[in-house]
Structure 1
Amino acid sequence: MIHPPVPHNEKERLKALHNLNIINSDPEECFDNITELASYICNMPISMITLVDETRQWFKSKTGTDMCDSDRDVSFCSHAILEPQNFMEVEDTHKDPRFHDNPLANDGDNPIRYYGGMPLLNSAGMALGTLCVIDTKVNKLNEHQIKALKALAKQVETLFEARYKNFLLEEARKDLDDHNTLLKDFAGVVSHDMKMPLANMVLTADVIKKKYGHLLGEDGKKYLDQLKRSGLNLSDYITGILNHYESEKLANTATEEIDLHNLLEDIIDLLGIEEDCEINFPKKNVNIKINRAALEQIFLNLISNSLKYNNKERIIIDIGFEKQGDFYVFTVEDNGIGVKQEEQKEIFKLFSTLSILDRKGNKGHGIGLTTVKKLVTNLGGTVKIKSELEKGTKFTFTVQAT
């Protein structure tokens, strides 16, 4: 018996094999279908997808045998991978000097007398194992059978490549989840730690203006007002970040039955509206079972936007509701500034800001509508915008009914 030599690229080959993350994996139907088909086409009792590691050949899939692996030193596939591009056929193992005294070829009950194997390559051309067929008697494949076996081997290679890409995607997803968790934690810690100093800064500006405004003059008061506005804007920005990263928690809270008009009244009270504003509720009040906390946050963001991005003396906001099949459909429509057509597709992206200023001359932070979309998506719905400059904006969002 001749022991198979080690391939010249063994280190790289083994690395590619282990990167596939397939050794000792569970059986998979897609591979089993191929070995069954190979056995049928080649009219052989045994067919296997083998992978050759440091010390053994392991069978990812097998038909016609109960074996799970065998020593690499006696394996036929370890010889086949030495010529990655070629089909290896041994018509009679007893007449081949490599295998005539091989223990597998001389097994009293199930001797391997015929072997045909096509190496399985990765995208870099390294042989990881073989798709092989085996018989307990002398045999030979015809031209069509060999061609079919090679085609099946290509299918196995495609499955290996898809598996590897899926593995990389899963690793990337885990890495992204880890980074996202760190970002959430960082945003939460930093935001909470910054809110108190900002509140102190705003309060201090008010105190200084009240106690020492007469000494500062008009310019001094103006600077204090700018300082206060900057503090309030940054505080709003931080609140938006916190709401965005905590939106998943809101979406996971329990559903409850609510009175829609009562919910909207509570939201208006929370907003403390000072502008001349008319808010029209849905004509027909309804009781619906829904995630109250998430819906409240969605309406807070949308109504707040309708108030801020409005240059009319009298702000008008119409809120609509209807049930369509398995979904609740809500609308929030205003007579505000409107959004440019080219900006509408970007409006739901995090930190994407519009070219327009709000009612107080401030630029938005690009967080509120991203939070709305995230909440709506987590509630099984969609959100869309319809807007025309100087005429107003209408947001329509759906929530899956429970």
Structure 2
Amino acid sequence: MPASKVPHNEIERLQALISLKILDTAEDDDYDNITELASFICNTPVSLISLVDKERQWFKSKKGMTACETSRDYSFCAHAILDPTEILEVADARLDPRFIDNPLTELDEPVIFYAGIPLRTENGLPLGSLCVIDHKPNALNQGQRDALKRLGKQVERLLLLRIMNRDLISTKDSLKKHNGLLKEFASIVSHDLKMPLANLILTSDIIKKKYNDFIDDTGKGYLDYLKKSSLSMSDYITKILEHYECIAYDVDDTQNFQINELLEGVIDLLNIKDNCEINLPENNIDILCNITALKQIFINLIGNSLKYNDKERTIIKIKASEIEGFYEFKIHDNGRGIEKEKLKTIFELFTIVGHLDNNGEKGHGIGLSTVQKLVHSLSGEISVISDLGSYSEFTFTIAKLK
């Protein structure tokens, strides 16, 4: 029995096979379904997805055979990969010079008929074959050959997806590592920036108190401005960090809860004043989602409704409902509203409406961008409608978890 020739690109071929990291992996239904179909369509008892290694052929999927691998010296597939563009079809291996005295033809269930379509990488490197085997002489008709080629293409797509998934996992691990380094760096920078700001705030208070009799009203105004600016910058740094390293992105805090219980907790955190009326949803629906992320969304949106309200009495109405595959929430307030030309960009980072809040502070344009990111992380969408001087209403959805 003559040994099969070695492909001219054997080194590259083996490197491509090894890079797949598929050899000796567990059974997989996606591959097994293809060998089942191949055997059925070609009317053969055996079908294999065979990958030709350096010294063996290993079966990723097998129908009608118990062995997991055989020696490459006896491999029919080692011959099939020599011409990676065509089906190798052997009607009766006992009469073919390449397979005379092949041990596989002398088994209790011998390999007599063989038809294999080579499996190739995107670069055309043959890795093995999808083959069908019979224990007696046989032949495929043209329809069966065409079907075997199409099934071979499906195997090639599965192999390509494996490469893509492997690359995605590698990229994810790399990004996770770099994001960890960036968070550590941001934390250090934040500390180094906020400490001098804290010193400025403290020093301005000390100067104002200790030298109060020697400073006129103009000087005291400058000290107040210095303190106010330092507090604003410290708050700005805090919000930037919250935007880029929000805990809700990294922590799976999925829980079952009722929406009104969550909202009552948010209201307690916001320390609502007496001149405010918040109407909770009439439907106290049960929700399964990341409670940390949803809570942060409501804190930001309700907080904005409180800060940017110019009415004597603030009225906020919250609605909750269930639609197909999603929960939907609406937050309607009677505040000062938003200009139409600014509605399209309101969720962009650092975009500000320009209004001062009830404390005389101008927003940083970070909060709504963070809200949108959180909503997207929950597979939802957010939108806003508004009438200047009358109301604003934010509507957002989050996907239901199964």
User: Taking structure 2 as the reference length, what is the TM-score of the superposition?
Assistant: 0.79
Q: Which residue does the alignment assign to 1:246? A: 247
Partner SS for 2:104? coil
Aligned-residue RMSD, C-alpha: 4.0
2:52 aligns to what?
52
Find the counterpart in structure 1 of residue 89 from structure 2.
Answer: 89
Residue identity in the other structure for 1:266: D
Asked if the contact 1:330/1:396 (under 8 Å) is kept, the reply is yes
Deviation at residue 231 of structure 1 after TM alignment:
1.9
Q: Distance in 2 between matches of 1:139 and 1:99?
A: 16
Structure 1 partner of 2:152? 153
Query: Is residue 4 of structure 1 aligned with residue 1 of structure 2?
Result: no
Query: What is the CA-CA distance between 1:47 and the residue it aligns to?
Result: 1.1
User: Displacement of 1:42 after TM fit?
Assistant: 1.9
Assess if the C-alpha contact under 8 Å between 1:2 and 1:98 holds in 2: yes
Q: Which amino acid aligns with 1:354?
A: I
For residues 330-341 of structure 1, the aligned pairs below 5 Å read: 331-341=331-341
> 1:94, CA displacement in angstroms?
2.6
Whether the aligned pair in 1 keeps the contact of 2:253 and 2:291 (CA below 8 Å) is: no
- Percent sequence identity is 46
Gaps of 5+ in 1: none
1:283 to partner: Cα distance: 8.0
Give 2:20's aligned residue.
Answer: 20
- What CA deviation, in whole Å up to 9, does each residue of 1:127-148 have, x standing for no partner? 1110111222233223332222
Taking a change above 3 Å as real, the CA distance of residues 340 and 361 of structure 1, as seen in their structure-2 partners, is farther
Change (3 A) 1:204 1:289: farther
- Quickly say closer, same or farther: Cα 1:231–1:347, change in 2 above 3 A: same
Q: 1:165 to 1:339 in 2, by over 3 A?
A: farther
How far does residue 316 in structure 1 lie from its aligned partner after superposition?
5.0
Q: Specify the SS of the correspondent of 1:89.
A: strand
1:44 deviates by 1.9
Compute the displacement of 1:352 (Å): 4.1
User: How far apart in 2 are the matches of 1:336 and 1:39?
Assistant: 71
3-state SS of 1:281 partner: strand
* Contact kept? 1:4, 1:79, Cα under 8 Å: yes
8 Å CA contact 2:302, 2:331 repeated in 1 = no
C-alpha contact (below 8 Å) 1:213/1:220 kept by paired residues: no
Of 114-123 and 360-369, the range deviating more from structure 2: 360-369
Cα distance in 1 for residues equivalent to 2:367 and 2:40: 61
Q: In 2, are the aligned partners of 1:260 and 1:286 still within 8 Å (CA)? A: no
Per-residue deviation, residues 76-116 of structure 1 (Å, max 9, x unmatched): 111211111111122222333322122223x3413222221
Deviations 1:203-253 (A, max 9, x none): 213323444578787886666455433321222123324545234559558
State the partner residue of 1:228: 227
Question: Is the 2:283–2:321 contact (alpha carbons within 8 Å) kept by the matching residues of 1?
Answer: no
Q: Does 1:302 align with 2:304?
A: no
CA–CA distance in structure 2, aligned partners of residues 189 and 17 of structure 1:
45
- CA distance in 2 between counterparts of 1:396 and 1:14 reads 55
How far apart, CA to CA, are the structure 1 residues paired with 2:77 and 2:200?
75
Structure 2 Cα separation of the partners of residues 286 and 139 of structure 1: 69
CA distance in 1, matches of 2:133, 2:280: 77
1:324 corresponds to 2:321: yes
Distance in 1, Cα, partners of 2:283 & 2:154 = 57
**1:354-396 deviation digits (Å, cap 9, x = unpaired):** 3535347765333322444455677887643222445442224
Q: Which amino acid aligns with 1:77?
A: C
Task: Find the partner of 1:356 among 350, 354, 357.
Answer: 354
SS at match of 2:103: coil
- List gaps (5 residues or longer) in structure 2: none
1:260 and 1:285 in contact (8 A); partners too: no
Give the Cα–Cα distance (whole angstroms) in 2 for the partners of residues 28 and 252 of structure 1. Answer: 30
Offset of residue 52 of structure 1? 1.4
Work out whether 1:394 is the aligned partner of 2:396.
Answer: no
Letter in 1 for 2:317: G
Q: CA distance change for structure 1 residues 263 and 120 in 2, over 3 Å: closer, same or farther?
A: closer
The answer to whether the Cα contact below 8 Å between 1:267 and 1:296 also exists between their aligned partners in 2 is no
1:36-80 superposed Cα distances (whole Å, 9 cap, x missing partner): 222222222211111112222111111111111112232111121
Equivalent residue pairs, number: 392
Counterpart CA distance in 1 for 2:252 and 2:103 is: 65
Report the TM-score, using the length of structure 1 for normalisation: 0.79
Separation in structure 2 between the aligned mates of residue 142 and residue 257 of structure 1, nearest angstrom: 64
Quote how far apart the aligned CAs of 1:255 are: 5.1
Where in structure 2 are the equivalents of 1:142-181 lying within 5 Å?
142-181=141-180
Q: CA deviation at 1:13?
A: 2.0
The answer for the alignment partner of 1:38 in structure 2 is: 38
> What is the aligned partner in structure 2 of residue 98 from structure 1?
98
Retained in 2: the 8 A contact 1:247–1:374? no
Quick check: 2:260–2:280 contact (8 Å CA) kept in 1?
no
Given that residues 323 and 329 in structure 1 are in contact (C-alpha distance below 8 angstroms), is that contact kept between their aligned partners in structure 2? yes
Amino acid at match of 1:6: V
What residue in structure 2 maps to residue 125 of structure 1? 124
Cα separation, partners in 2 of 1:211 and 1:11, compared to 1, 3 Å:
farther
Kept in 1, the 8 Å contact 2:197–2:230? The answer is: yes
